[in-house]
Structure 1
Amino acid sequence: MTLPQWRRNLMNQIASLSLTTYPDPAPPKIAANAVAVVKQIGASLHAVAITVDIPDVSNALSSYLLDLPNKIREVETASRKCGTTLLQAVAREASQSGVTLTTQEITAPPALMGDVAAKESRYFDVCLVGWESDNQAARMAAEAILFGSGRPTIILPDAADVGVLGHVVIAWDGSRVAARAVADAQPFLERASTITVVTVTDEKPLPGRDIGERLAQGLRTRGLAAGAASIQAEGRSIGTALQEHALKIGGNLLVMGGYGHSRIRDFVLGGATEGILSELRLPVLLSH
């Protein structure tokens, strides 16, 4: 079957993968999962290892009692070694899967690692980050990139292997950020065998009736296999309700708007976004 003209005219995308190394290394499955995602949309991959650069604030007494300069060098060396190991793992996965890869290593002070990752991510089409709930560095990078890169961010859970992203679930409330997420998810939507638009009806006032079906109809008009469903949170967090329903119907990728804002590098997440990140169970494309 011939693809519609708008599909053939898509540029080849480049995905950015941010690999944290301090204080915790990026999740172990991130290399394989990131390569699996970009292969499915025919994208190239740019992997960035972010290593720590700790300012030397020692004085004569701390140097004598704590050997602080040497400890700093040890931490920085371990961070660089971790970055090299992560980039090598990505290179192996990319080579095995036939994915075009470029790599980079950058340094940043501990408090600015997320900001640096976000700024680097602005030069690419989509951002990939690994996620472990107890990994401080992974959370810092994910939140900074989501709210600071200006790019859609796919958060990949370390608890699961990324398979074929054939069933895409769209969380739809008719909002601006939800519409932005649908547009950003186009490379995945056009390759999906099934698309389900899900609206949570008991969480907040919605802009109209049958808004999910209206979006699904628009996607069908574009030649995509889309349907709509309405669910109720029933006391659960909206993030939990969306993920549970997505998994129940065989969803492989959840697409939703990312709510929240940053204030002096302290991230304040909206309820839906916080619910997703508190227990990530499948890949989620978040767009802010």
Structure 2
Amino acid sequence: MRQDILVPFVTYPDASARTLVDQAIAVATYLGRDIHAVALDVDIPDVSNLVSRLLIGLPDMIRETEADSHARGAALLVAIEAAASKSGIRFTGATVSAEPPLFGDRAAELARYHDLAVIGLEASNDTARLVAEGIVFGSGRPALLLPEAAALGALDRIAIAWDGSRVAARAVSDAQPFLERAAEIVVLTVTDEKPLADAGLGERFAARLAAKGLAARAMPVLRGSRPIAAALQGEAAAQGAGLLVMGGYGHSRLRDFVLGGATEGVLSEPTMPVLLSH
């Protein structure tokens, strides 16, 4: 059975960086997967009321904004289709429209039909953050978060954030295609953030991976005064990992996500590729 990755391009108010095209191609090549790319165009609701009549030219401004969004998305689709063709990757593309508050929900709906979502993240791009949250917590599929400002590292050197929880186990399961290709796996357990079930759970999990034929070792991590996301990403990088696998903690409170500290950190300040799964 052929598997694929979904690549959602945001287009409003700022578009995904062109580097996401190259990153997605690299991931698809590494995993041997097809690509389905989607441009998320903005659909601004009609505001035909007294206010819009007083604001001269507002309908024209809306049409211009929507046209610019569509043009940015079309350019990204053309770029990734050309790159996929050059790399021998099967490609399909589509354009969908949504109102700005619904970008995350629409992206989550789309991601349910694909095996993995590859999302470009930039600290200043709030729409990309909204799409990432929607997919992680609403799609039931894993999301590979790629900082658009950072080069894609060695995906065969993997760090796993392990605390023995359900979401951590789910993330490891969703990361199997990467783990099967791994040259080295380091299991990171933060020992000074919260109570753990036992002191040796990282070593025990590394031993289970090793019993399956994977080159795995455990590494305890002291958070100290660092934010938990910075501690995990920093230690993963220090151990030579090019990918961090972790569970996404969060729940919805009246449609606003309340996120765990590590999840909030990697969504706000990603410094390396992170496979996040809920």
Normalising by structure 1, we get a TM-score of 0.93
Instruction: Note the C-alpha offset of 1:148.
Output: 0.7
Instruction: Note the C-alpha offset of 1:65.
Output: 3.6
- Specify the code of the residue in structure 2 equivalent to 1:153: A
Matched, 1:174 2:164: yes
5+ residue gaps, structure 1? 1-10
Residue 261 of structure 2 corresponds to 271
Q: Mean alpha-carbon deviation: is it higher for 243-252 or for 21-30?
A: 21-30
Matched, 1:142 2:132: yes
Alpha carbons of structure 1 residues 247 and 113: separation in structure 2 relative to 1, 3 Å:
same
Residue 8 of structure 1 corresponds to none
Residue 247 of structure 1 corresponds to 237
State the Cα deviation string for residues 58-116 of structure 1 (Å, max 9, x = none).
23663364211111110111111011011112112212322211111111112111110
State the Cα deviation string for residues 198-250 of structure 1 (Å, max 9, x = none).
10000001111211111111111111111111110011111100111111111
Instruction: Note the C-alpha offset of 1:262.
Output: 2.3
For 2:199, which of 185, 209, 212 is the aligned residue?
A: 209
Cα RMSD over matched residues? 1.3
| Superposition misfits of 4+ residues, deviation over 3 angstroms | none
Q: 1:63, 1:69 within 8 Å by CA — same for their partners in 2?
A: no
- Specify the code of the residue in structure 2 equivalent to 1:36: A
Matched, 1:154 2:144: yes
Residue 81 of structure 2 corresponds to 91
Alpha carbons of structure 1 residues 81 and 158: separation in structure 2 relative to 1, 3 Å:
same
- Specify the code of the residue in structure 1 equivalent to 2:35: L
1:1-288 to 2 correspondence within 5 Å?
11-59=1-49, 62-63=52-53, 65-288=55-278
1:259 and 1:235 mapped to 2: Cα distance?
A: 21
Q: 2:154, 2:243 within 8 Å by CA — same for their partners in 1?
A: no
2:267 and 2:190 mapped to 1: Cα distance?
A: 18
1:275 and 1:73 mapped to 2: Cα distance?
A: 36
5+ residue gaps, structure 2? none
Instruction: Note the C-alpha offset of 1:169.
Output: 0.4
Instruction: Note the C-alpha offset of 1:193.
Output: 0.5
2:198 and 2:71 mapped to 1: Cα distance?
A: 54
2:36 counterpart SS class: strand
Between the two proteins, the alignment pairs up a number of residues equal to 278
2:195 and 2:60 mapped to 1: Cα distance?
A: 58
Q: Mean alpha-carbon deviation: is it higher for 167-176 or for 222-231?
A: 222-231
Normalising by structure 2, we get a TM-score of 0.96
- Specify the code of the residue in structure 2 equivalent to 1:180: R
2:109 and 2:118 mapped to 1: Cα distance?
A: 14
1:47 counterpart SS class: strand
- Specify the code of the residue in structure 1 equivalent to 2:257: F
- What percentage of aligned pairs have identical amino acids? 54
Q: 2:41, 2:97 within 8 Å by CA — same for their partners in 1?
A: yes
Q: 1:26, 1:137 within 8 Å by CA — same for their partners in 2?
A: no
2:246 counterpart SS class: strand
